[in-house]
Structure 1
Amino acid sequence: MNLALWIVAGLLAVVALTGGITKAFVPREKLAAVRGGGWTAGIGAGSIKALGILELLAAIGLILPAVVGIAPVLVPVTAVCWAVLMVGAMITHGRRGEALYVVVNLVYLVLAALVAWGRFGPGSFAG
């Protein structure tokens, strides 16, 4: 169970890191030109960068607290926050009729829920 939770958290961290770097450092105009980036047209550049920073923090929060052993409870808390972020992403893509991206975000949400459940429960770092 522990290994599976580490793998899932690692995969989510890679997704969050990739998305965070893209949103925080790529100009909005370039994001809008990429497939699936049309959602950026109605959002300010600062908001997109803020989402990118949140995703970068999620990438850190899914791994680092457990690795260093300082406040490992932040791992499941971060997973819950990631799940909430994915709900927002699903709503945004759903409003735009982008069913594929809704499904992708749903998969990320389920994986985050698995990490949260596992790290709050049977695979907790407290035991």
Structure 2
Amino acid sequence: MNLALWIAAGVLAVVALAGGITKTFVPKAKLAAASGGEWTDRVDAGFIKALGVVEILAAVGLILPAVLDIAPVMVPVTAACWVVLMIGAMITHLRDGGWKFAIVNLVYLGIAVFVAWGRFGPHSFS
């Protein structure tokens, strides 16, 4: 189970890092032109970049606290925050008719719930 939780956290970290780097460094016009990026047309570029930074921090928070054994409780806290982020992402994509992206976000949400449950509960780092 511990291995499954590490793999799940790693998958989420990769997803968060990829999304965060994209939102932080790709211009707003290019994001808006991409499939699933239509929502970026309706928000400020600063918001998109801030969201990207939050996702990069999530990638760090899903792995680094446990690896360094410094406040490992931050792993399930970050996973719980990722759940909230994915709910917002699903709502945003559904507003644009992007149900396929909402389903992908639902999968990420499920993985985050698994990590939060496992690391808060029976397989905590303490």
Q: Which residue of 1 aligns with 2:70?
A: 70
Letter in 1 for 2:70: I
Structure 1 residue 116, shift from structure 2 partner: 0.1
Q: Are residues 1:47 and 2:47 paired?
A: yes
Normalising to structure 2: TM-score of the pair? 0.99
Structure 1 residue 2, shift from structure 2 partner: 0.3
Q: Which residue of 2 aligns with 1:88?
A: 88
Where in structure 2 are there 5+ consecutive unaligned residues? Answer: none
Query: Superposition RMSD on alpha carbons, in Å?
Result: 0.5
Q: Deviations over 1:68-123 (max 9, x none)?
A: 00000000000000010000000101111110011000000000000000000111
Letter in 1 for 2:36: G
SS in 2 for 1:124: coil
Q: Which residue of 2 aligns with 1:28?
A: 28
Q: Which residue of 1 aligns with 2:106?
A: 106
Normalising to structure 1: TM-score of the pair? 0.98
Where in structure 1 are there 5+ consecutive unaligned residues? Answer: none
Tell me the matched-pair count. Answer: 126
Letter in 1 for 2:69: G
Aligned equivalents of 2:114 and 2:86: distance in 1?
A: 14
Aligned equivalents of 2:98 and 2:31: distance in 1?
A: 16
Q: Which residue of 2 aligns with 1:61?
A: 61
Letter in 1 for 2:50: A
